[in-house]
Amino acid sequence: MKKVFLARFLLILLVTVLPGVLSFAQDAESDITEHYKRMMVYHTYMDGSVPEGAVLFIGDSITQGLCVVAVHGLAVNYGIGSDTTLGVLERLPVYKSMERAAAVVIAIGVNDLRRRDNNAILENYKKIMAAVPPDVPLLFSAVLPLDDRNKPEEEPRNERIRELNRGLEALCAGEGRCIFLDSTPSLVDDTGNLDPAYHTGDGVHLNTAGYTLWIKDLRDKLDILPAVPRETP
């Protein structure tokens, strides 16, 4: 009787629980694209030449499209399109320049939404935080809002993003060297979606007007971080 009960229990587990777990599995290989591999070749070339006191920007395509010197006079762009929190974890050990950085800005997470749940994303953020040298200030930029109207057939994502950002803010608040920036109020319209005036038309990527607002918010927050001079030394 016990064997029958155990067999039924395992069957229920396989049918109901395991698929959900697998759907959010932490599989680094599936996150690493050919673009990622190409970019990492160049990042490796760059890293040894990064001067002391630079601000490093690490993120996905939204970061890759950011004019980082508009935020800080001595800045390096380590954005990689389509990257995820897991991809960032894989590449952080390459960046020896973190050891001499004035600050590290992390802006990642939107590409994780279809790969893993919020708890797994936050766990990856904890590991990212631990991977940055402990004496280097951190700025966590919230996952930016999307225009869900561009993909009405998909489940709305902005509420989930807001929940994730609350978790990121709490995580950052527990670390004295970390400051959290949420540019959502600057970028959304009265529906809570990314304002069409601020994206390229795909509902995800910022246009020049959107970047202008994000840059201003990033500049203001970097001013608060300790020992981050505004201009190139």
Domain regions of the chain by residue span: 28-224
Residue type, 74: L
Q: How far is CA 145 from the centre of its chain?
A: 12
Token look-up 């708890």 returns 119
pLDDT at residue number 12? 36
Q: How far is CA 142 from the centre of its chain?
A: 7
Tell me if 55 sits within 8 A of 68, measured CB to CB: yes
User: How big is the CA angle at 222 (ends 37 and 128), to the nearest 5 degrees?
Assistant: 40
Coil, strand or helix: which one is 133? coil
pLDDT in tens, 111-168: 999 999 999 999 999 999 999 999 999 999 999 999 999 988 888 999 999 999 999 9
**28-224 has which CATH code?**
3.40.50.1110
Q: Quick one: which of 43, 59, 20, 44 has its CA closest to 144?
A: 59
Taking 50 as the pLDDT cut, the residues of the chain under it are 2, 4-7, 9-24, 232-233
